[in-house]
A and B are shown apart, each in its own frame.
Chain A
């Protein structure tokens, strides 16, 4: 007998979401097959110095335009157990809302001192920290004047943990019309960085963004 899981919803006003979201409900995985759905990524990444400081292209280079911010947080599973030694990949637009990606054809201003790509690892307690520039919002759908709010993309990978998510900013006027924010409903709060002051450091402010990876994958093969 077929057993069904979630129905993925389509992000309103998001064309790609409409084109790529499965219309059928997901199928539940029978217990015998469950372990094979937790890919175990080999830990073979080396981080270079300075990769967690996205405010400069390299140590000693000029700082990028815009407000430098610090993002810190802890990555855990649903039981609060830390996800250690995981690779966090970070990418975000510059202060004008432009990515350095070769396929970003928006024509918005580039900042020659901002790459917008960083990497770091979580430590033994699951904590991470990186520095970047607060990204700008950008017009994603000119035809209907729908903007993407400020956001920072993050990918977490290591062992059987896997998540790609985005950190948003409280009070951004474009949050309420963002397609994926609408789908998140009240749980959107989980994806907002909590602002804190950084009087001792040269940042505009810091954001605390704790990440909880759901499901059984994160610790499938770990000692529990």
Chain B
């Protein structure tokens, strides 16, 4: 922890807790796993290449992790995240929020989105990635980021460089052909625990 002095006057955080098995499914009624449509019935669409990401969440035994609540977050095709800091950014896409939420009944998910751009507004550009937050029974919130296998910018991404080389492949979404409607499809397995465990990140201490 690098903020020890400043911490003195801080309040003690409430403990996060597990999602439990009974998160109300109906609270997800307005959620969508199609980031390319932020309003129904509108023909306008976000810029960029539409893609589909199919994946699953698995436990230590290789079984699917049912009942997880998943949240996805990404930049638009120009690498710009929608936040209060970017409200007037000329490259903000009016038809793209970059946020999706899904309660997976059986552990699978399928996200339709656009391929995120390179986030250049930093000293060290970020490779295209999608942030994934997982809430589950038995464990508090965990977070990670998913990357596109083979993307040349992965080589210089500061997050990938911050983990051991042999772990980087576990964050890679792999190209897996085309969907029925001709979109590029990528797949990834998220392993919550055990062999080939997905690297997760600490956004409380970082």
Contact = CB atoms under 8 A, between A and B. Distances in A.
A146 to B, nearest CB: 14
A32 B123 contact: yes
Interface string A152-165: 01010001101111
Interface in A23-58: 23-24, 26-30, 32-42, 44-45
A30 B202 CA distance: 10
Which of the four size classes fits the interface of chain A? 35 or more
Nearest to A28: B206
A16 B137 contact: yes
B164 interface: yes
Interface string A166-183: 100000000000001000
B32 to A, nearest CB: 10
Interface stretch (A2-10, A60-68, A124-132, A200-208): A2-10
A66 to B, nearest CB: 18
A118 to B, nearest CB: 9
Contact of A191 (B17, B20, B81): B17
Interface stretch (B42-50, B141-149, B180-188): B141-149
Contacts of A32: 122-124, 126, 158-159
B202 A26 contact: yes
Nearest to A1: B162
A213 interface: yes
B196 to A, nearest CB: 11
A30 B73 contact: no
Contacts of A221: 83-85
B154 interface: no
Interface in B119-154: 119, 122-124, 126, 129, 131, 133, 135-143, 145
A211 B143 contact: no
A185 to B, nearest CB: 9
B153 to A, nearest CB: 13
Contacts of B175: none
Contacts of B27: 89, 91, 117, 119
Given A22-B142, A99-B22, A164-B19, A190 B14 contact: yes
Contacts of A3: 162
A104 interface: yes
A165 B16 CA distance: 5
Nearest to A101: B22
A17 B193 CA distance: 10
Contact of B11 (A27, A38, A80, A180): A80
A59 B79 CA distance: 46
Contact of B60 (A18, A89, A162): A18
B13 A214 contact: yes
B11 A36 contact: no
B201 A213 contact: no
Interface in A97-140: 99, 101-104, 116-117, 119
B14 A38 contact: no
A163 B23 CA distance: 14
Contact of B17 (A18, A38, A79, A165): A165
Given A16-B138, A119-B27, A213-B13, A28 B84 contact: no
Given A2-B163, A89-B27, A153-B20, A37 B11 contact: no
A57 to B, nearest CB: 13
Contacts of B117: none
Given A164-B135, A180-B17, A184-B15, A40 B126 contact: no
Interface of B: 9-27, 30, 59-61, 63, 65, 67, 69, 71, 73, 75, 81-85, 97, 99, 101, 119, 122-124, 126, 129, 131, 133, 135-143, 145, 157-159, 161-164, 192-194, 197-206
5 contacts: A26-B205, A30-B159, A104-B22, A164-B19, A191-B14
